[in-house]
């Protein structure tokens, strides 16, 4: 199997990164059509965004709890986008991953793709002594997932798959300013909180170290 072609974009504007994803997606689609077999081209973008809120195509705008004027006040932007899922936040201190791959080349379907993504995040959290898990009826990775009160989300997942080719992906809270989640119902869940690795460990975490763990576990699981 071809290993992931990781591209670390550092810090990049959300819209610029979205456009770049679309560009790479079109490249993979073109390659697949030309070769008439699953494309072996694959990309895995890693990035931090400036403060931004995004709403998935099936999301409810009521879960965005602030208006445009307040967005300017907190130096954030807002986009309606073409992934699944509801509203979420991206910002500094959060590692966002965008795999752009042909699932047919990996012999997996969409559900298994998301489950493997969750498994890679769970394994990464375990490197820090944190027990991540899945919450019934929700994508992403949670801590105390089965608890009615203490359940809190540490990683959001929202993807788009067209002709088995993926885009968008996950957002893992590492050293994230969690106050920005106060302005939304994260992923449509008003009753549950969010957390970060820093919040759980009570110390700042090395972002490059987390990226290394993520790469290792994604390579292992796919």
Catalytic residue annotation: 187
Q: Each residue of 73-107: b (16+ CB within 10 Å) or e? A: eeebbbeebebbbbbbbbbebbbbbbbbbbbebbe
Residue at token pair 């997996």: 108
| Element counts in the chain: helices (H) and strands (E) | 6, 11
Q: CA triplet 213, 176, 178: central angle to 5 degrees?
A: 140
Tell me the helix, strand and coil percentages in the chain, rounded to 5.
35, 30, 35
């Amino acid at each position: 199997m071809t290993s992931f072609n990781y591209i670390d974009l550092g810090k990049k504007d959300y819209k610029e990164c979205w456009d770049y994803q679309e560009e790479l997606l079109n490249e993979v689609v073109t390659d697949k059509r030309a070769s008439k077999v699953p494309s072996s081209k694959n990309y895995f973008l890693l990035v931090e965004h400036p403060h931004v809120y995004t709403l998935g195509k099936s999301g409810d705008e009521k879960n965005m709890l602030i208006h445009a004027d307040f967005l300017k006040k907190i130096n954030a932007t807002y986009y309606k986008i073409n992934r699944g899922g509801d509203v979420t936040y991206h910002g500094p201190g959060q590692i966002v991953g965008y795999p752009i791959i042909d699932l047919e080349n990996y012999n997996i379907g969409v559900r298994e793709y998301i489950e493997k993504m969750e498994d890679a995040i769970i394994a990464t959290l375990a490197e820090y002594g944190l027990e991540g898990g899945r919450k019934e009826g929700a994508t992403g990775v949670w801590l105390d997932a089965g608890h009615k009160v203490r359940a809190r989300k540490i990683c959001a997942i929202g993807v788009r798959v067209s002709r088995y080719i993926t885009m968008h992906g996950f957002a893992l809270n590492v050293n994230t300013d969690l106050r920005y989640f106060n302005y939304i119902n994260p992923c449509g869940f008003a009753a549950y909180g969010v957390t970060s690795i820093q919040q759980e460990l009570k110390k700042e975490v090395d972002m490059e170290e987390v990226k290394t763990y993520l790469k290792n576990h994604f390579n292992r699981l796919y």
